Amino acid sequence: MSATTANPSAQGTRRVFLVVTLLVAASALGFIAFGNMGENLVYYWDVGQLREAGDKAIGSTIRLGGVVKEGTVDWRPDESHLEFIITDGSQEVPVECSGAPPQMFREGIGVVVEGTMTPSGTFTSERLMVKHSNEYKAPEDGMSADERKQLYRTVEDL
């Protein structure tokens, strides 16, 4: 037996295995990519889809994604209660969350909330996730990184 190559008499079998495996792998990938899996496995609904579902959305666990509408955030730290409106640009849903929002949370940012619809038309959630875009920008507010570090240090000990 040669040390650099496996038994040459089995080479034909190995090549058959190769072709069959490649075909299986390619069809699996094709199915995942073009098999409309996305229609059945949706990570979150937008506001339109939530509205379409109507009463079915009440009581079932749903992820809802959209943008926090400017000027609608009401955060009451003493009650750990957060209210805001999620919009997709045309339609809106009021959202109530318990617990402190992540530090990235702000008006105009994308969010995904996990929770359910209530009969009153408000979405209640206990899990609020901030969706960051693929844009990485330098700060624009004129404060340099050093100045901000200084500010951070002064706030740190509070």
Partner 1 sequence: MRWEHGLLAIGFVLLAIGHGMGLFMAPEEAMMREAGRILYAHVPTAWVALVTLTLSFFAAVGALWTGRYGWDAAVEATAETGVVLTALLLFQGSMWAKPTWGYYWDWDPRLTTSAILLVLFVGVLVVRRVVSDPERRLTVTAIATIVAFVDVPVVYFGVKWWRSLHQEWSSPQTVDSTMVMPLRIAAFAMLFISLAICVIRWRTILATVQAEATAPDLPALPAELSLAEKEV
Contacts with partner 1, residue ranges (CB under 8 A): 1, 3-8, 10-11, 14-15, 17-18, 21-22, 24-25, 28-29, 32-33, 37-38, 41-44, 65, 101-106, 109, 112, 127-140, 145, 148
Kindly tell me which of 15 and 56 has the beta carbon lying closer to partner 1. 15
Cβ atoms of 125 and 112 closer than 8 Å: no
Residue type, 54: G
Q: What is the DSSP letter of 147?
A: H
CB of 120 to partner 1, least distance (A): 26
CB of 68 to partner 1, least distance (A): 13
Distance between CA 139 and CA 60 in Å, rounded? 40
- Under 8 Å CB-to-CB from 137, ≥6 apart: which residues? none
CB of 119 to partner 1, least distance (A): 27
